């Protein structure tokens, strides 16, 4: 009886150990797959982009220059109406971007997505939201 109890305890311990190792390796494998997929989908937004912001009064045109590397980017907008605007806090995650600009003392956010050689999003200023479209002119 004592040997049977010891054998059962040993068997249960081995099963538990195998389960834990199996779960840990499965989790590591799943994590590696997600990380690999993220690296494969990293979008490179660098370049010169011709953009148009649609407003009720008139469209605004300009060039957005995106520089940087390894996921750390900076952007500057050369506008037809407000001169050169630095995009502060410019981030790119996957193919989505966001940042903010100072337009005549008022902060506006800019956000959107890249799709190959085009970009689409919005400039949000207070309660107003203006569509922005762009195409990459050069890398």
How many C-beta atoms surround the C-beta of residue 128 within 10 A? 11
**Structure confidence by residue, pLDDT tens digits, 62-96:** 999 999 998 899 999 999 999 999 999 999 999 99
Q: Which residues pair with 112 in a beta bridge?
A: 97, 121
Q: The tokens 């605004």 sit on which residue?
A: 60
Q: What is the CATH number of the domain that holds 63?
A: 2.40.128.120
Q: SS3 for 21?
A: helix
Q: Count structural domains, the chain.
A: 2
Provide the residue range defining the domain that includes 25.
1-40
**Structure confidence by residue, pLDDT tens digits, 102-114:** 999 999 999 999 9
Query: 76 and 30, same structural domain?
Result: no
* Predicted TM-score of the model (pTM): 0.70
Question: Which conformational region is residue 83 in: left (phi greater than 0), alpha (psi within -120 to 50 degrees), or beta?
Answer: left
Calculate Rg over the CA atoms of the chain. Answer: 26
């Amino acid at each position: 009886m004592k040997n049977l109890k010891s054998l059962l305890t040993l068997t249960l311990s081995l099963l538990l150990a195998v389960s834990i190792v199996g779960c840990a390796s499965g989790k590591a494998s799943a994590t590696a797959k997600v990380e690999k997929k993220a690296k494969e989908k990293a979008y490179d937004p660098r370049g010169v982009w011709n953009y148009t912001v649609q407003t009720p009064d008139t469209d605004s045109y300009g060039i957005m220059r995106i520089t940087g590397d390894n996921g750390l980017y900076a952007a500057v907008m050369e506008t037809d109406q407000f001169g050169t605007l630095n995009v502060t806090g410019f981030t790119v995650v996957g193919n989505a971007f966001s940042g903010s600009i100072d337009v005549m003392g008022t902060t506006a956010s800019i956000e959107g997505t890249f799709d190959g050689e085009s970009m689409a999003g919005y400039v949000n200023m207070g309660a107003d939201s203006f569509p922005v479209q762009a195409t990459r002119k050069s890398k």
